[in-house]
């Protein structure tokens, strides 16, 4: 592993791709500092909601890097609780945005949790036929457990995830995680290991992963490469070109105007009673102003 080509010595705000060849495992690691902080700071979410958003962002970045796609990867959570919805999407260019919706009446208590519901994985590509969607129930109100279950059950790929987020004394948010996946058997290759060995290797990797601390995941000044070396030094992790991430929303005045213009006539008549209509993007909180004439075309 070498840092010589990297200006970013901590590897924050990029997905670090790696493999543990001896164990037939592929891995992903991510730590987001200013991206997650800026996404959350744009809103006035209660702290417990912000923590879910931070966690969803890091999971979305990890997962999006597992798929080859040209478009948008999104992770959406629909819950029956006062925390109603979480959404994050990551484009194939590494552009990240996220938001949440919750019952404002509970904001003072700030004890939001996930209830019954679903986590939906979607990959939207140019062509409709390349759309992929997967769904899993929320398990034990835990986001990581739910998505891990998705890969284990739906994709039949043993997957281990350790994720954490943190808000420091200055109010700055950091989130990150490490994901390991057991590679499926390579057809036609001579099997290096029998099933028992493979299971032992996987369990060994899970023990190593569980030793990763939340502090290591969220320490903004600690190199992610160093974290991986510390964790898997005996396995000699092989690191590949990372995927850079940026905070970027896809909203625009034109897109919002299109939505407003396509509303049904009764709704349209209702909102255009005001001379000026302000619409806020739920993802980035950008405000757009429209006149009744704009909307009526």
Q: What is the contact surface with Zn ion in residues (CB under 5 A)? A: 249, 251, 281, 283-284, 286
Pairing state between β 95-102 and 246-247 = parallel
Neighbours of 46 (CB within 10 A): 20
CA-wise closest residue to 217 among 272, 146, 165, 288: 165
The smaller minimum CB distance to Zn ion, of residues 96 and 212, is found at 96
CB of 256 to Zn ion, least distance (A): 9
CB of 95 to Zn ion, least distance (A): 11
The smaller minimum CB distance to Zn ion, of residues 73 and 150, is found at 73
DSSP state letter for 264: -
Buried b (16+ CB within 10 A) or exposed e, 200-223: ebbeebeebbeebeeebbbbbebb
CB of 57 to Zn ion, least distance (A): 15
The smaller minimum CB distance to Zn ion, of residues 180 and 245, is found at 245
The smaller minimum CB distance to Zn ion, of residues 91 and 223, is found at 91
Give every CB contact of residue 108 below 8 A, 6+ residues apart in sequence: none
Report the C-alpha gap between 113 and 13 in whole angstroms. 27
Report the C-alpha gap between 54 and 176 in whole angstroms. 8
CB of 63 to Zn ion, least distance (A): 22
CB of 78 to Zn ion, least distance (A): 21
The smaller minimum CB distance to Zn ion, of residues 164 and 284, is found at 284
The smaller minimum CB distance to Zn ion, of residues 145 and 286, is found at 286
Strand residues in the chain grouped as ranges (E): 14-20, 25-32, 71-79, 83-91, 95-102, 117-125, 132-137, 159-167, 173-182, 238-239, 243-244, 246-247, 276-280, 287-291
């Amino acid at each position: 592993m070498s840092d010589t080509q990297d200006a970013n010595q901590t590897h924050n705000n990029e997905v670090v791709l790696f493999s543990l060849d001896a164990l037939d495992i592929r891995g992903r690691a991510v730590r987001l500092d200013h991206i997650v902080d800026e996404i959350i700071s744009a809103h006035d979410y209660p702290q417990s909601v912000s923590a879910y958003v931070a966690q969803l962002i890091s999971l979305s970045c990890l997962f999006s890097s597992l798929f080859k796609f040209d478009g948008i990867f999104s992770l959406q959570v629909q819950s029956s609780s006062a925390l109603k919805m979480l959404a994050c999407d990551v484009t194939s260019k590494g552009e990240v945005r996220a938001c949440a919706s919750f019952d404002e009446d509970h904001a003072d208590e700030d004890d939001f949790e996930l209830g019954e519901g679903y986590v939906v994985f979607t990959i939207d590509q140019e062509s409709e036929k390349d759309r992929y969607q997967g769904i899993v129930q929320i398990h034990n109100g835990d986001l990581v457990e739910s998505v891990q279950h998705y890969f284990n059950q739906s994709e039949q790929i043993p997957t281990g995830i350790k994720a954490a987020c943190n808000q420091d004394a200055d109010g700055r948010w950091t989130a990150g995680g490490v994901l390991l996946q057991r590679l499926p058997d390579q057809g036609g290759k001579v099997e290096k290991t029998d099933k028992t060995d493979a299971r032992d290797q996987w369990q060994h990797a899970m023990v190593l992963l569980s030793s990763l601390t939340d502090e290591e995941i969220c320490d903004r000044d600690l190199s992610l490469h160093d974290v991986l070396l510390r964790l898997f030094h005996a396995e000699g992790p092989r690191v590949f070109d990372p995927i850079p991430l940026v905070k970027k929303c896809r909203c625009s005045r034109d897109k919002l105007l299109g939505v407003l213009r396509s509303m049904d006539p009764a709704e349209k008549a209702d909102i255009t009673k005001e001379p000026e209509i302000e619409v806020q993007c739920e993802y980035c909180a950008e405000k757009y102003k429209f006149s009744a004439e704009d909307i009526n075309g």
